[in-house]
Chains A and B, each alone.
Chain A
Amino acid sequence: SAVISQKPSRDICQRGTSLTIQCQVDSQVTMMFWYRQQPGQSLTLIATANQGSEATYESGFVIDKFPISRPNLTFSTLTVSNMSPEDSSIYLCSSGLAGGNEQFFGPGTRLTVL
């Protein structure tokens, strides 16, 4: 399995600001994903980060709010823009191979918006 790191591991931010989360995988992987996990809830897929093209967003998530970059096969960023307290959550990136195979997760970024 790939080893995935994320930073920051946690942050406390003010309403209206933006935060960029970085995800680094130790090997080239086909797929990278961004999830959100709110307290007591399961993982909700935000988007698939596509290398060299725009991310594919799930229903309820838009690029203006969650811009994503993936400049190469081992790195991706997720920005949470114009934050509000409702954005307080854990944000996780994952990686895997195409075709519905298992995914492996980074340690997550715990975001609190005041």
Chain B
Amino acid sequence: RKEVEQDPGPFNVPEGATVAFNCTYSNSASQSFFWYRQDCRKEPKLLMSVYSSGNEDGRFTAQLNRASQYISLLIRDSKLSDSATYLCAVNSGYSTLTFGKGTMLLVSP
């Protein structure tokens, strides 16, 4: 089993839709979880950290399920500008992160 796995997509959704991505991880000792957004030919940018209690930032909600070892990202009321690749990251050592391959989201008018 790969350390961090994501459905590569693409997820094609219309504007205004709600879309959710999952990311599974294999290291049960992982303590830190993040979602990054990467636009084409750009560097990844931190979207949000994922806390045990879940967290919300505007239209974005992140959840952690330790029992099943996955994190999720929910995007409500999708905008065209949300089109990007979403990478999950999980700490794999004291300070290092392991990234998934990313899930591509395409929001269409």
Contact = CB atoms under 8 A, between A and B. Distances in A.
Taking residues whose C-beta sits less than 8 angstroms from the other chain, chain A's interface range is 20 to 34
A92 B32 contact: no
Contacts of B49: 102
Contact of A107 (B42, B46, B95, B102): B42
B3 to A, nearest CB: 11
B25 interface: no
Contacts, number: 52
A42 B94 contact: no
B6 to A, nearest CB: 8
B44 A105 contact: yes
Interface in A32-55: 33, 41-43, 45, 48
Given A42-B99, A42-B101, A106 B46 contact: no
A48 B93 CA distance: 11
Nearest to A98: B95
A103 B96 CA distance: 9
Contacts of A98: 94-95
A30 B46 CA distance: 18
Nearest to B91: A100
A43 B31 CA distance: 20
A103 B97 contact: yes
A99 B94 contact: yes
Interface in B78-109: 87, 89, 91, 93-102
A80 interface: no
Given A41-B101, A42-B102, A100-B32, A105 B43 contact: yes
A1 B34 CA distance: 15
Contact of B31 (A41, A48, A100): A100
Contacts of B97: 45, 100, 103
Interface in A3-58: 30-31, 33, 41-43, 45, 48
Shortest Cβ-Cβ A-B pairs, 10 listed = A100-B91, A100-B32, A105-B43, A42-B101, A43-B99, A42-B99, A98-B95, A108-B43, A31-B95, A102-B46
